Chains A and B, each alone.
Chain A
């Protein structure tokens, strides 16, 4: 049921972001307290250069992050303490993955997806946006998808918006 719901929301949102050349998530909405499978879509390199590294910073409010290994890419994670501990089925989780680094090569002419999974905290406010800063590093520099809109701004006002997901209200009974 959830898959159906997410798929539906994806279809709705796909039209909006389909033409975008920004780094985005395939699924743009998830409920607080749910497990979210992030599919990060990397549409191009840095000014024509191949991407050599994809770095994802795990924002506060997300825990139990597990990246999916990727053929041809080395996978590393950086762990650290969470800003706030999470209660996960009776256990308290205080630290975990804070950054994921895939190292490999993605030509500018090619497209690829980078996948990880994580739990969204129950405290995340409904209808708020959760932004996940992503940096593509190339030989000649970096594309930093890290901009977060200020009050009154939209993603479209930004040159390098961070990919984000809208938090749907937590479902009762989970």
Chain B
């Protein structure tokens, strides 16, 4: 069998260069999203005259509640129930005595990332020295390492393992069983996917790694099963089972099983992770599935290629090589297109988002390794692919480079598993910026300070909410006006009236046109003759 003649070298170089450039901006997404807490009622740090009947937490996207704990003045934690309505979580509170309280809500966003938020407030007259208790933040390095490892094993198991089985079967339904790696990795991926359910539960509840097997086991796994980690695990199990069956089954059903395993792999990646929940949802999920499916075919082809190159007599090896040479560029092009689409949906397309966020840095490292992988693939194709069909020396050289490619692919998966811990730029951009405003005429105390929250914390249309310090007689202010300026940029004060909304004052229809440091002055008309001015600054991204 002869290989099809490759395109002219100049064309080939251009093609590969273009692919590389496109891929420099591409992204994959297996990280879990971080819902951003927009605001709470009562406000964080509020000093309330009377005990509130309920507390609410508003997030930027729909969430499900894993656990709610209230730490009272006595330091004891009480577990509470919560109602969820899309992005709004309402926690009915029991009758509270006077004192400081810390209410911690652990939620999981639709894409499976747990977020813990603590709201601190005081009820009634509280001794300034008796600070409200602060809920312990459990940040367990062992749990984090296990979460990364599970994600890495899941990605390797599905993309290289299941992908490898799929490619082996599709390339030659009659071929003998694939290599050890391809036979073992799917099971590893399936186990990792199951472990990820428990790890997500432990993360959501803020419990240590030991909670996966300890007395809190049932609660931990139940919390994990309530998240999108469960459907992802079920699909991963199906993918692994399909791949192993495809390798073992009689010839006629091998191909359908392989295709089903590939579909389950793509669906497993689309079921969870923050790329899958970017808006528009259908596009994000479809693109993640396409990206993962193509990646599985590419990465899966590497072990099959490596194995076939070791066996000079195997005609399937040459066929695979030929198919890889032809389908490779188109496949990589489609993979890159899907990656770019995801990067755009995730808001990771500006230089600032790429360099300035942990998410972007992971993406850059991943792209660097992917670029190396592609470069190696290009070298393989130019130098060896033509000759490998006939020349044993070229075959050995090619085989060695394919082994390096596999190592690089594993490295890519290790890097992108770091997304487990980094919110995407779109989530960061949605997060509000807050600032404390002080009255320069009063001594700096907590009670005299106001807080301002601007959401989203970037230039453009924003919602501005103010929480004002209580007035001495408890009467609400007559009027509140907000003045926003960027003196350094020559933007004179934009004056807007604020409208009362419960315990907050809001400025409707506000557009802050540029990023950077904004000074904010709040003028509170306490009585007809008395104005309080509070000043501060915040920085928009």
A residues engaging B (CB < 8 A)?
55, 57, 133, 135, 144, 146-148, 150-151
Contacts and interface: CB of A to CB of B under 8 A. Distances in A.
Interface residues of B, number: 8
B473 interface: no
Contacts of B533: 147, 150
A146 B441 contact: no
B440 A135 contact: no
B130 interface: no
B440 A55 contact: no
A133 B530 contact: yes
A10 B440 CA distance: 31
B528 interface: yes
B440 A144 contact: no
A148 B530 CA distance: 9
B440 A146 contact: no
B531 interface: yes
Given A147-B533, A150-B533, A135 B528 contact: yes
A150 B441 contact: yes
B440 A151 contact: yes
6 contacts: A57-B529, A135-B528, A135-B529, A146-B531, A147-B531, A147-B533
B525 interface: yes
B492 to A, nearest CB: 12
A57 B531 CA distance: 13
Nearest to A160: B531
Given A147-B533, A150-B533, A55 B528 contact: yes
Contacts of A135: 528-529
A151 B442 CA distance: 10
B528 A151 contact: no
A144 B528 CA distance: 8
Given A133-B529, A147-B533, A151-B441, 5 more contacts: A55-B528, A144-B525, A148-B441, A150-B441, A150-B533
Nearest to A153: B440
A98 to B, nearest CB: 10
A133 B529 CA distance: 6
Candidate in B440, B528, B529, B533 with the most chain A CB atoms within 10 angstroms: B529
A147 B524 CA distance: 11
Interface in B507-538: 525, 528-531, 533
A156 to B, nearest CB: 15
A144 B531 contact: yes
A144 B90 CA distance: 41
In the complex, which of the residues A135, A147, A150, A151 has the most CB atoms of chain B within 10 Å of its own CB atom? Answer: A150
